[in-house]
Amino acid sequence: MISRILLGSLALPLLAVSLAASCGGNGGSSGSASSNATASGGSGGTGADPGVGGFIAAGGSGGGEPAVCDPPDVLVVLDRTLTMHKTPEGGTPNDGPDYKSSKWFQAITAIEQLVAPPLDKGIRFGVELWPKDPGGGACITLAERVLDTKQATNPTCQEGEVLISPGLDQGTAIQALLDPATTTLCTTTPTGNALLTAEQQLQEIAAAGREQYVVLVTDGADWDQSCPDPNPLPIAQALMKKGIKTYIVGFSATGDIQPGGVGAEFLNNMACAGGTAKGFPAPCTDDGNGNFTATDPTGTSLYLKAGNATELALALKSIGGKLCCNCGDTCDPPEILIALDRTLTMHKTPNGDTPADGPDYPSSKWYQAVTAIEKMVAPPRDTHARYGLELWPRDPGGETCITLAERVTNAKQATNPFCESGEIVVPPALGSGAAIQQYLDPATTRICISTPTGEALFTATDHLLKSITPGRDQYVVLVTDGADWDQSCPDPSPLPIVQQLAASGIRTFVVGFSAEGAIQPGGVGAAFLNDMACAGQTAKGFPAGCQEGPGGFVATDPNGEVLYLQASDATGLDKALSGVADGLCCDCVK
């Protein structure tokens, strides 16, 4: 299982995959632009009002005031070094004369798509190529490089060159400038000098109140061998201190895993240094002077990782959607995996009684949870988010799990194996509401023995990591009464798994459904759920009320105020789930 590999030692720091938030904000992490109308991104989950939605379209800020912001300066800094002639898989392209399979063709195409009107009215785009082409035929074309008909002779380790300074309505000019066939490639990889050129340009045009960003598009290869001085890392850290954040786009299925600091470790450190790592600052360490690096550079990707043309285009699109000023709320609908607790205690009423309103038992937590989820995913909501459903533990069939009526009347005992994984019964997808509603039926969807909360989260991790799409947010909504996991299935513990999910850019909303279950002792009640909400980075007012430890966030005072989404009855559960759905809704008025 993927999660077993990634989480093999839960005592180690657990880090993130390379996804930028897709809907104009991600709870305040990853460098969300305050230039967006109504300060995009919010501050993380806050109970029934998660505060994770995108920005509001021009002309409204949610309070009747016009949305006004100053479009940010965004300098795209494109690696034009010789390794960009290869395919993302590391091969030599053979699809001439255009060589569309090359990283160079794909990178230019993706950048042209990023800067195209009308986005260039909400972002001041500029472009820098590095290293500088001194002219005179010293640098070479893509075809010359692929066919090896000419060698690049430009001076080594030169600075970059800003061909178009950031400005409004520059998309067409950038598109006219860049041409995969004629825009040249050059030798050596002076990544540090490229960032110094970017810094100089952005400081020259800086305006009070206007945000500035660098978007470094690179295959990461060999800077430390060809041009180790200046080191790019402290330059990215210095840019961050000056208010210039740097997005790191690593483009190459092979280049991002090269040894020697030029691959994933280097790019992870750079993403933290630039203040745009997924979940920033959670997976990063501050040296005390505002210089950030990855806590575990060898962990999963914190930068925007693209292994093909589609992923690169989506990664850049996610940046554009995040930073665009006064833009409509256009985003890629997120994946929201609802992980529903189907354990035997769900037959009770929220206040802990045995229901007496058969045959449907609408007073049971099971009936109310199923009904609330069916409402949450109903159209048209399922056109604005990719809903999926996991039930846990898994029902192995053979009537080893039992119906609600069988449990309430004690007519039959569940005999399913203890502590099994969950099961994804409806994968996250657009338009999945009807499928989820059809699958769920309080009377026939069975409940099972034991409470393997950790295994349920492993199942969620496996599925979501396999379905990653750059630029698309992913969430888990854990609906549970919190009861007895530590007694029936204590291993694996759910907490470090939720911390891993958060570090991987997948945040977890924790919905505690049961007035009784929320206050049980032994770690299964409020204290446990508070820690889980902080670990999932959706706690009320996050990061307030939470503190960061070696593995991730936990509650500062687990026995303090409620930080998770608390529901003590059907109305409260509806409100909690509706709050999540409305907060994450893509292309909705927020």
Stretch 17-28: mean pLDDT: 32
Stretch 531-560: mean pLDDT: 91
Nearest Cα residue to 26 out of 115, 16, 563, 163: 16
Q: Who wins on pLDDT, 10 or 441?
A: 441
Structural tokens at position 299: 């962990």
Q: DSSP of 204-223, one letter per residue?
A: HH--TT--EEEEEEE---SH
Q: Is 493 exposed, middle or buried (0-12, 13-18, 19+ CB in 10 A)?
A: middle
Nearest Cα residue to 74 out of 233, 204, 247, 311: 247
Where does the pLDDT of residue 56 fall: very low under 50, low under 70, confident under 90, or very high at 90 and above?
very low
Report the pLDDT value the prediction gives residue 328, as an integer from 0 to 100.
55
Sign (positive or negative) of CA dihedral 307, 311, 317, 323: negative
Is the pLDDT at 57 greater than 70? The verdict is no
User: Alpha carbon of 481 to those of 417, 565, 570: distances in Å?
Assistant: 20, 12, 13
| Residue carrying the six token digits 């007073």 | 363
- 261 vs 264: CA distance, rounded Å: 8
Is the pLDDT at 7 greater than 90? The verdict is no
- 456 vs 340: CA distance, rounded Å: 9
Report the pLDDT value the prediction gives residue 330, as an integer from 0 to 100.
57
- 203 vs 19: CA distance, rounded Å: 28
Task: Report the amino acid identity of residue 555.
Answer: A
Bridging pattern class, strands 244-251 and 304-306: parallel
Bridging pattern class, strands 284-286 and 292-294: antiparallel
Q: Is 11 exposed, middle or buried (0-12, 13-18, 19+ CB in 10 A)?
A: exposed
Nearest Cα residue to 394 out of 489, 308, 323, 329: 489
Give the model confidence (pLDDT) of 271-323 as tens digits.
999 999 988 898 999 999 999 999 999 887 888 888 778 778 878 988 988 89
Bridging pattern class, strands 423-429 and 386-392: antiparallel
Least confident of 223-232, 255-264, 347-356, 395-404: 255-264
Give the model confidence (pLDDT) of 172-194 as tens digits.
999 999 999 999 999 999 999 99
pTM > 0.85: yes or no: no
Nearest Cα residue to 51 out of 507, 574, 411: 507
Contacts of 555 (CB under 8 A, 6+ apart): 527, 530, 531, 533, 534, 539, 545, 546, 547, 563
Is the pLDDT at 113 greater than 80? The verdict is yes
Give first-to-last CA distance, the chain, whole Å: 38
| Residue carrying the six token digits 């699958």 | 439
How does the average pLDDT of the chain come out, rounded?
84
